[in-house]
């Protein structure tokens, strides 16, 4: 295309995009007008108003986020028809709703991502726009169907991966590749495991898969929302804006340590403790520890009543314990069974003594009246309540587990390993979260189950909800139904709703994050290789439908309790019903840096094939040996030099080196420049030190440097001795 031809074409595309923005602005104004009217709520109930306000608010947000990069491509078919691809769909209402812009998730847009030179999908050309705000700055064309085409030579893709990194992860909606698109659109209702090495885009693919599922299954997905579990808060901050940038907000982002609302993790387990807590063997420990709190009295416990003293002996407590356990109820709820049996025995004994010589079972009315009086007297007896608290105490997960950890005697009684002992029992670790979550179900409610007032309140609320749902219909739909009660016929209808129904105006994500019992429609688990068997029990409880997108790389596993194979993790929950897909192309790490990381990978996981880098950066990684006294100065020089460049940088090293972060804190993140400090010490830090070093080396997208005090590990000895001079951009 000539220069003049290119400029003419660019103006033509700008005119079309201007028209799309005009249509977007008109739609935005229409929705905001309806939103304002809904807020006034004239002629509708408060419930109907709230529903419409929420729906229109979500629609307005989707239109707002679409403004940035609204249209990013065009696809020309062999027949000459052009289709424009963008963040949302826009239609021409005046022309039978002809599509002006295809949503990237729509089936008709799929060829934009999968068409290649070898398989053009009946397409002639793919055009990708580069935009700044609403301005189309330029475009690149890829002619499809040529024998010498190269699907990995896409100019837009290379421009994206070579661009300096910003504060957070960018969506890849404009540059999704065929390998990634296949996974994003995969029609699999259960668990999908996506494995890929560093830089393959597995995280962003998983997030775009969620956006696709929300597009194709919006009604079902939005009612329960989506949970995204990441390795650390920095990672969550890094990815948090990807889904909102695609118009999706009903998503809860959390770490495994934050799955229990209100719990704060403040400590870290030693590997032995983490391994035991993460294994299913800990379930036996918890069950034994709970049973240990269900005691028998060493000596009979006297209970003084008005006319007689009765005693709780070991035989009575044993019978009550067996019946309570056989009930199958959680510990706290089973206490009611224990109490009923003990109460029965004590009242029988008391009646026998009080009525001796004058009362028999034949006098049923007098017998039952005396029993009723004795039951009431026991219920008010402080001694009886104290005995119950001693023999079958009400337990809360936090108090129970803290007391277990801080008591060598209780640990021994539960058959637990001494590695679980800690003096500060409530210094919670990430590995404690699944145990506490398990105990919520194992212990049950932490107050007596015979709370009739609470049960009655919930029953009344449920009844009121059903009444309101059944009656909120329009008179027009039932004009001939004389027996039907209409909402407008109900006196004080809003008073009834306010009395029984607590209105919760929070967004779904906020409500879900605060509710331990919330269940999600879909769950995304990133860095899934780090999760233990107990972690998976927690997540499976959170998603009864077992709809998961699982993302990880077994070669990067650091946790002693983490996964060693995906089959071991998935088969117990979805036997034969989970799918596996692998990403093989590295879009982030340049070939020069990946060659260094691959040498490390070959030493600790020779069976794993590293992903193939899609590009080279032209800058060789370097290493420099420094004296201990000069280490901080060398780090400061790197930080100063990188501050003058565009992009991001980080220093990764052992925890005790000032100015560095641990490799585990950078998982899933990416930086233009990375300085790895003392790799020999990272490598020597436990059995998974090699995986830590592998992670550290693969965070860089442009430049990698290494500072070492001792001898370089053998895999790194090919590095240049000094940094190559690279002019700042």
Selected residue with higher pLDDT from 315 and 507: 315
pLDDT at position 462 is 52
Q: Which of 492-506, 560-574, 612-626, 698-712 has the lowest mean pLDDT?
A: 492-506
pLDDT at 358 over 80: no
Task: pLDDT band for 39, please (50, 70, 90 cuts).
Answer: confident
pLDDT at 464 over 60: no
pLDDT on residue 43: 67
Give the annotated binding-site residues for ATP. Answer: 196-203
At 403, the pLDDT band (50, 70, 90 cuts) reads very high
Q: Could you tell me if 222 and 62 are in contact, meaning their C-beta atoms sit under 8 angstroms apart?
A: no
Residue range 610-629: average pLDDT?
A: 92
More confident residue, 424 or 157: 424
Binding site, annotated residues: 196-203
Most confident range, picked from 105-109, 250-254, 385-389, 600-604: 385-389
**If pLDDT is split at 50, 70 and 90, which confidence band does 484 have?**
very low
* Nearest Cα to Cα of residue 273 among 265, 282, 264, 286: 282
- pLDDT at residue 155, rounded to an integer: 53
Please state the length of the chain.
Answer: 729
State the pairing for strand pair 82-86/578-583.
unpaired
Give the residue-averaged pLDDT of 563-575.
Answer: 95
pLDDT, tens digit (0-9, with 9 covering 90-100), for 225-262 = 999 999 989 889 888 888 887 878 889 999 999 999 99
Exposed (0-12), middle (13-18) or buried (19+): which is 532, by Cβ within 10 Å?
A: buried
Check residue 359 and give its pLDDT.
72
Percent of the chain having pLDDT more than 70? 86
**Cα separations (Å) of 648 from 123, 289, 621, 653, 702?**
39, 50, 17, 17, 10
Cα 386 vs. chain centroid, distance in angstroms?
43
Confidence of residue 728 (pLDDT cuts 50, 70, 90): very low
Confidence of residue 548 (pLDDT cuts 50, 70, 90): very high
> And the tokens for 357?
């010589």
pLDDT band at 3 (very low <50, low <70, confident <90, very high): confident
> Residue 474: pLDDT band by 50, 70, 90 thresholds?
very low
- Report the C-alpha gap between 359 and 368 in whole angstroms: 11
User: CA 404 to CA 425: how far, in whole Å?
Assistant: 8
Confidence of residue 177 (pLDDT cuts 50, 70, 90): confident
pLDDT reported for residue 144: 81
pLDDT at 169: 62
Q: How confident is the model at residue 552 (pLDDT cuts 50, 70, 90)?
A: very high
pLDDT band (50, 70, 90) for residue 9: very high
User: For residues 142 and 178, what is the distance between their CA atoms, to the nearest angstrom?
Assistant: 15
pLDDT the model gives residue 242: 85
pLDDT tens digits along 685-705? 876 899 999 999 999 999 999
Q: Which residues, in sequence order, are bridge partners of residue 586?
A: 613
Q: Tell me: pLDDT of 279 over 90.
A: yes
Average pLDDT over residues 442-452: 67
Query: Which of 49-58, 450-459, 663-672 has the largest mean confidence?
Result: 663-672
Tokens of 353: 């003594």
Q: What is the pLDDT of residue 239?
A: 87
Q: What is the pLDDT of residues 366-380, one digit of tens each?
A: 888 888 999 999 999
Model confidence at 38, pLDDT cuts 50, 70, 90, reads confident
State yes or no: pLDDT of 386 exceeds 90: yes
The pLDDT value given to residue 471:
44
Q: Flag whether pLDDT at 304 surpasses 90.
A: yes
User: pLDDT band at 364, cuts 50/70/90?
Assistant: confident
Choose between 461 and 512: higher pLDDT.
512
Buried-exposed string 288-310: b where 16+ CB fall within 10 A, e elsewhere: ebbebbbeebeeebebebeeeeb
Name which residue leads in pLDDT, 157 or 186: 186
Whole-number pLDDT of residue 60: 86
330 or 501: which leads in pLDDT: 330
Burial label for 712, CB within 10 Å (0-12, 13-18, 19+), is middle
Q: What is the pLDDT of residue 35?
A: 86
Query: So what's the pLDDT on residue 195?
Result: 96
Mean pLDDT, the chain, rounded, equals 86
The pLDDT, as a whole number, for residue 694 is: 94
Cα distance between residue 461 and residue 388, in whole Å:
33
Query: pTM here?
Result: 0.79
> Could you give the percent of the chain with pLDDT greater than 90?
58
Range in 199-208, 385-394, 459-468, 532-541 the model is least confident about: 459-468
pLDDT reading at 315 higher than 70: yes
Give yes or no for a contact between 228 and 252, defined as CB atoms under 8 angstroms apart.
Answer: yes
pLDDT the model gives residue 680 = 94
With a cut of 90, say whether residue 521 has pLDDT above it: yes
Instruction: Give, as one character, the DSSP assignment of residue 201.
Output: -
The answer to whether residue 296 scores a pLDDT higher than 80 is: yes
Q: How far apart are CA 368 and CA 373, in angstroms?
A: 9
Question: Looking at residue 245, what is its pLDDT?
Answer: 79
**What's CA 183's distance to the chain center, in Å?**
19
Q: Which residues, in sequence order, are bridge partners of residue 228? A: 253, 524
């Amino acid at each position: 295309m000539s220069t003049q031809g290119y400029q003419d074409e660019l103006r033509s595309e700008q005119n079309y995009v201007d028209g799309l923005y005009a249509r977007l602005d008109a739609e935005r104004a229409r929705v905001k007008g309806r939103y304002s009217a809904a807020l006034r709520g004239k002629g509708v109930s408060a419930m109907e108003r709230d529903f419409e306000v929420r729906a229109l608010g979500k629609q307005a947000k989707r239109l707002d986020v679409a403004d940035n990069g609204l249209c990013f491509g065009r696809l020309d078919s062999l027949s000459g028809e052009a289709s424009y691809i963008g963040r949302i769909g826009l239609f021409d209402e005046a022309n039978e709703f002809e599509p002006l812009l295809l949503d990237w998730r729509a089936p008709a847009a799929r060829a934009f991502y999968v068409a290649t030179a070898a398989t053009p999908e009946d397409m002639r050309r793919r055009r990708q726009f580069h935009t700044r705000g609403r301005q189309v700055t330029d475009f690149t064309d890829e002619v499809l169907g040529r024998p010498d085409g190269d699907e990995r030579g896409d100019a837009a893709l290379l421009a994206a991966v070579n661009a300096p990194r910003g504060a957070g992860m960018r969506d890849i909606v404009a540059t999704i590749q065929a390998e990634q698109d296949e996974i994003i659109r995969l029609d699999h209702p259960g668990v999908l495991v996506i494995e890929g090495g560093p830089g393959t885009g597995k995280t962003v693919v998983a997030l775009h898969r969620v956006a696709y599922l929300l597009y194709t299954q919006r009604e079902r997905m939005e009612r329960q929302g989506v949970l995204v579990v990441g390795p650390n808060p920095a990672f969550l901050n890094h990815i948090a804006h990807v889904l909102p940038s695609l118009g999706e907000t009903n998503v809860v982002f959390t770490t495994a340590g934050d799955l229990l609302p209100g719990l704060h993790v403040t400590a870290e387990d030693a590997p032995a403790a983490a391994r035991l807590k993460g294994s299913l063997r800990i379930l036996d420990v918890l069950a034994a520890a709970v049973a240990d709190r269900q005691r028998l009295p060493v000596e009979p416990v006297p209970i003084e009543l008005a006319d007689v003293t009765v005693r709780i002996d070991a035989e009575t407590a044993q019978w009550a314990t067996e019946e309570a356990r056989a009930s199958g109820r959680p510990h706290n709820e089973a206490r009611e069974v224990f109490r009923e049996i003990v109460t029965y025995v004590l009242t029988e004994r008391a009646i026998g003594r009080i009525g001796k010589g004058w009362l028999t079972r034949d006098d049923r009315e007098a017998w039952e009246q005396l029993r009723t009086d004795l039951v009431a007297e026991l219920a008010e007896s402080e001694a009886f309540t104290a005995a119950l608290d001693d023999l079958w105490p009400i337990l809360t997960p936090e108090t129970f587990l803290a007391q277990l950890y801080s008591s060598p005697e209780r640990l021994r009684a539960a058959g637990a390993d001494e590695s679980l002992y800690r003096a500060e029992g409530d210094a919670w670790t990430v590995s404690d979260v699944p145990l506490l979550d398990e105990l919520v179900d194992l212990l049950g409610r932490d107050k007596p189950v015979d709370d009739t007032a609470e049960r009655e309140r919930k029953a009344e609320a449920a009844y009121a909800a059903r009444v309101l749902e059944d009656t909120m219909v329009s008179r027009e739909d039932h004009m001939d139904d004389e027996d039907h009660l209409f909402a407008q016929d109900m006196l004080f209808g809003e008073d009834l709703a306010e009395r029984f129904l607590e209105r919760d105006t929070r967004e779904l994500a906020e409500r879900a994050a605060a509710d331990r019992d919330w269940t999600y429609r879909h769950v995304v688990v990133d860095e899934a290789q780090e999760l233990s068997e107990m972690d998976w029990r927690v997540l499976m409880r959170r998603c009864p439908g077992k709809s998961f997108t699982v993302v990880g790389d077994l070669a990067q596993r650091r946790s002693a309790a983490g996964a060693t194979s995906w089959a071991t993790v998935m088969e117990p929950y979805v036997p034969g019903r989970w799918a596996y897909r692998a990403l093989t192309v590295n879009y982030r790490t340049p070939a020069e840096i990946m060659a260094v990381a691959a040498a490390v990978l070959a030493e600790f996981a020779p069976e794993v094939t590293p992903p193939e880098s899609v590009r080279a950066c032209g800058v060789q990684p370097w290493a420099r040996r420094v004296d201990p006294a000069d280490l901080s100065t060398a780090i400061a020089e790197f930080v100063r030099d990188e501050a003058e460049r565009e992009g991001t940088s980080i220093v990764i090293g052992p925890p005790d080196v000032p100015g560095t972060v641990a490799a585990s804190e950078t998982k899933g993140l990416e930086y233009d420049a990375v300085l790895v400090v003392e790799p020999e010490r990272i490598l020597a830090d436990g059995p998974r030190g090699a995986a830590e070093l592998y992670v550290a080396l693969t965070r860089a997208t442009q430049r990698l440097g290494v500072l070492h005090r001792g001898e370089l590990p053998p895999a790194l000895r090919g590095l240049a001795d000094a940094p190559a001079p690279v002019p700042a951009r």
